[in-house]
Structure formats: structure tokens, C-alpha cells
A and B are shown apart, each in its own frame.
Chain A
Amino acid sequence: MSELSAALRKEALLQWRTRAQLAAVFVFGASALLLFSFAIGPDSAALRRHSAGFLWLGLLLASTLTLAESFQSEMEQRALEAQLLMPVRPAALFYGKAISNWAQLSLLGFALVPVMVVLYDAGTDRLGALLGVILLGTAGLSAPGTLYAAMTSQARARQTLLPLLLFPLVVPVLLAATRASSLLITGDPMGQVRSWALLLACFDAIYWSLCGLLFGRVVED
């Protein structure tokens, strides 16, 4: 447990030092949302109907940037090998990194909600539930994303490999998060949001445990 808190403190410090990057990624995400509306056209009804989809696509695209960056500092000066030489379980390193990525993506998601509300007229009275769905969905992106980022940061063609590996895997996250968010925005007469949230929670539980177990094999020498 102390290993995890040490890893988290390191991550928090790293995040604080590179906070300008987070702002840049937010601008990227917001401009993606803008481009989506140009692709659809000035049809307010259509934009509102698909707003959840745009939000999650924007988050997914932005995640490739933040996830790839997350191992950048470990690659410099062989910091990853140094960390592994310490008596720390690799799983602690993984969870520290994954939680940090999760926090970053969630903040990004929260920040994009007002952009979505303005561009697509996609407000909701169940804001708390929407933020909860964002938390569940970004958790689903960050666990496998952190695992793959650890691999691809040490491979060639890393910019292409990470989304190539991640996107097919997180199809259930995209489906469930988009459906749940869409229902929260356009109305949920049959009360399905809870079931989609449950699907997200199951995906998160499975992948947060599986990726933590496998991380050791990925970074071992």
C-alpha cells in the first residue's frame, strides 16, 4: 500500500510539472468536438442526438495523446528500469500510472462537458450521473491504455501502435458510455442507464485486475 502511495505521489508530481500539456490536450479535445459539428452540419436536432457519441470519440482520440505521453518521462534516462530495480512490485507502478491517467482523462471529460453543452445544445438535469459515467468510462480507457502505453513506448511506430491496439479493445466502453451518456442527455424513459453503467463497471473490474496482473511481464527484462 505504501508502494502505491509512493507511486501516486510521483505521478501527482509529474502531472503538476506537465500541467501545460493537459491544457493543450483540452484544446485538442474541444477542437475535435468543433470539427465533429462541422462534419454533421448546422442541424441542431441531429447534433443533440449524437452529442454523447462526439464527446466519447473526442475523449478517445485525446486519450491516445495523454496515454502515449504518460510513459515519456519513464523512457527518458532509463527511469523505468531504475524504478524496477527498486524493491517495488510492478503492479504498484502500474496502478499508480493507471490512476494518474484515469484522473487526467476524467478531468478532460469534465472539462469537455460544457463545450458539448454549448456546441450541441446537449444539457442534462442529471449532471452527477453524467460525471459518474465519465468516471466509469475513462477508467475503462486508462487501464488497458496504460498497459499498452508501457509496451508501445518501447517499440517503433509507437504513435500508430497505441490506438491500433487500444481502439478495438475498448469497443464495449465506447458503446456503453455513449449509450448511457446519450440517455442522460436525451431522456431515459426505460431506466437503462443503470444497466449500461453496470456493464462499464464490469469491464473496469475485469481490466483493472487483468492489466495489473500482466504488467509485470510487460516491463520485465
Chain B
Amino acid sequence: MDLDDGRPAAAFFFAGLGVLLLLAGSYWGLFVAPAETYMGDVQRIMYVHVPTAWNTMLAFTFAFGCALAFLFLGGWKWDSRMEAAMEVGVVLAVLVCMQGAIWAKPTWGVWWDWDPRLTTTAVLVFAFAGILALRHFVDDPVRRATWSAVATIVAFVDVPIVYYSVRWWNSLHQMQSTPETVSSAFHWPLRINAFAILFLMIAAISLRSRIAALRLRTELAPPPPAPAPQTGTAAAEATR
């Protein structure tokens, strides 16, 4: 296993950098950038919502890559990274749904308007949470890794299918078009926050995969040697 026992310095470095960038980008988006023409200040939610959404898809795509790598290249590190990317992806996806609902209420008047991207994200939360549950209920590490890799591939292939079917399903009911997320004047806070959340995500996946690897090491380790036979009075009594 190529996990060094040192402190996860890189993870904390990325986390620190991410926090700084997030503060900077959010400050810019909240207080410096002008309000949008039609949506007013509510538009500012986009500066944190869009970067989170981008990174969610990135996390799940990375999980998919790790699943392929595990199945075709082998190596426990891919299993640990896949588990980490899935969990981080689920956390980010739940956040995306919450942000989306908070944005939808003042904009559309309802908490949920079946927007295809948001609905697909919600389906992904359940799909990958289910795979994490599968991992929880399988004790054999090899089976756990193989099955969850298979399930990840199956789930990821479904993403575009879910998206297009929801988009089509929704288009027959709603005539409102999804608004332009951000016009060109507002790129900078978006980009800064995108990198911020990217760095936070890298830190989280790095740390989480170490946790998974540490657990694996305990599971795969040979059992402790049997204790040496007692030579004390108890044994002497028994043989008398």
C-alpha cells in the first residue's frame, strides 16, 4: 500500500488555499459585483451554486475513473480514492440541491421546479449514497471494492440518460426557460470560487482516501500471532 504515514500536509495546504480563495471569491461576488438586471441580489447565490455544481460532477467523474482503474489496472489505492470521491461527491451534491432550492424559492416561488440539472443531481445523491450503503454492508474487501466499482460504472453511465429524460419530461410541462446562469461581466468571482471549491474538494478526497486506506490496512493485515502458552500455576494445576 503506498500510503505514507506522514501527516497529510498536502491536504491541509489545499484546504487552507481553498478557504482563502472561497473567502475572496465570495466577498467579490457578494459585495463588489453589481446586482443582476432581472434577478437582483438573489443572483449572487450563483457564485457559490455554480462552482459547487461543477465540482460535484468532477468528483463523480473522478470516482468513475477510479472505478475503471480499479477494475482494469488493479491496486487498492483506486478503491480508497473511489470511496473518497463518492462520499465527497454526495456531500457536494446535497449542498447543490440545498443551494438550488434556496435559489428557486424567490425566483420561481417554489422550493423545487424540476430543473433538469438539479433533478439529475438529486438522483445522483441517491444513486451514490446507495453505493456507499452497499460498501457498508459488504465485509469482504475484495468483493466490496469490485462490486462498488461495477455499481459506480453502471450509475455513472446513467447520468446523461437521466439528464436527457428529465429534460424532455420537464419541457412538456414548463414553458419557462432556464435563465442564463451568469453573464460575462461576472466571471471573476465565479472562477475564483470554482478553484476554491476545487482545492477544498482535492483536500477532502485526499484526506478521506487516507481514512479508507488506513481502514483497509487493518482489514487486510494478517491476524495477530497466537499468544505464547502459559507456564504459570494454572497450567501446572491442570496437568497435575
The reply to whether A and B meet directly (CB within 8 Å) is yes
Interface of B is mostly: helix
User: Which residues of B have CB within 8 Å of A195?
Assistant: 168
Known: A165-B134, A168-B130, A169-B155. A218 touches B150 (CB 8 A): yes
User: Which residues of B have CB within 8 Å of A148?
Assistant: 151
Cβ contact within 8 Å between A211 and B154: yes
Interface residue range, chain B = 20 to 34
Whose C-beta in chain B lies nearest to the C-beta of A152? Answer: B134
**B71 partner, pick from A176, A206, A217, beta carbons under 8 A:** A217
**A164 partner, pick from B133, B147, B157, B172, beta carbons under 8 A:** B133
Instruction: Check: A59 CB closer than 8 A to any chain B CB.
Output: no
Instruction: Check: B107 CB closer than 8 A to any chain A CB.
Output: no
| Complex CA–CA separation, A160 to B124 (angstroms) | 18
Instruction: Check: B99 CB closer than 8 A to any chain A CB.
Output: no
Among B124, B143, B154, B162, the most chain A Cβ lie within 10 Å of the Cβ of: B154
| Complex CA–CA separation, A220 to B145 (angstroms) | 13
From 198 to 221 in chain A, residues with beta carbon under 8 angstroms from any chain B beta carbon are: 199, 202-203, 206-207, 210-211, 214, 217-218, 220
Cβ contact within 8 Å between B158 and A172: yes
Shortest C-beta distance, B145 to chain A (Å), equals 10
User: Which residues of A have CB within 8 Å of B166?
Assistant: 171, 175
Cβ contact within 8 Å between B153 and A171: no
Whose C-beta in chain A lies nearest to the C-beta of B71? Answer: A217
From 93 to 151 in chain B, residues with beta carbon under 8 angstroms from any chain A beta carbon are: 123-124, 126-127, 130-131, 133-134, 137-139, 143, 146-147, 149-151
Cβ contact within 8 Å between A179 and B151: no
User: Which residues of B have CB within 8 Å of A169?
Assistant: 127, 154-155, 158
Cβ contact within 8 Å between B165 and A176: yes
Instruction: Check: B161 CB closer than 8 A to any chain A CB.
Output: yes
| Complex CA–CA separation, A156 to B149 (angstroms) | 18
Instruction: Check: A147 CB closer than 8 A to any chain B CB.
Output: yes
**A161 partner, pick from B133, B146, B157, beta carbons under 8 A:** B133
Known: A168-B155, A210-B157. A147 touches B150 (CB 8 A): yes
| Complex CA–CA separation, A152 to B148 (angstroms) | 11
| Complex CA–CA separation, A172 to B133 (angstroms) | 22
Cβ contact within 8 Å between A168 and B123: yes
Instruction: Check: A28 CB closer than 8 A to any chain B CB.
Output: no
Known: A147-B150, A167-B126, A218-B147. A175 touches B169 (CB 8 A): yes
Known: A147-B154, A169-B127, A169-B155. A161 touches B134 (CB 8 A): yes
If A168-B130, A179-B169 are given as contacts, then 13 extra A-B residue pairs at C-beta distance below 8 Å, sorted by A number, are A151-B151, A155-B137, A156-B138, A165-B131, A168-B126, A169-B127, A169-B155, A171-B162, A172-B158, A172-B165, A202-B161, A211-B154, A217-B150
The 4 closest A-B pairs by CB, nearest first: A168-B127, A172-B165, A168-B126, A164-B130
18 contacts between A and B (CB under 8 A): A148-B151, A152-B134, A155-B134, A155-B137, A156-B139, A165-B131, A169-B158, A175-B165, A175-B166, A175-B169, A176-B165, A195-B168, A199-B168, A207-B154, A214-B153, A214-B154, A217-B71, A217-B149
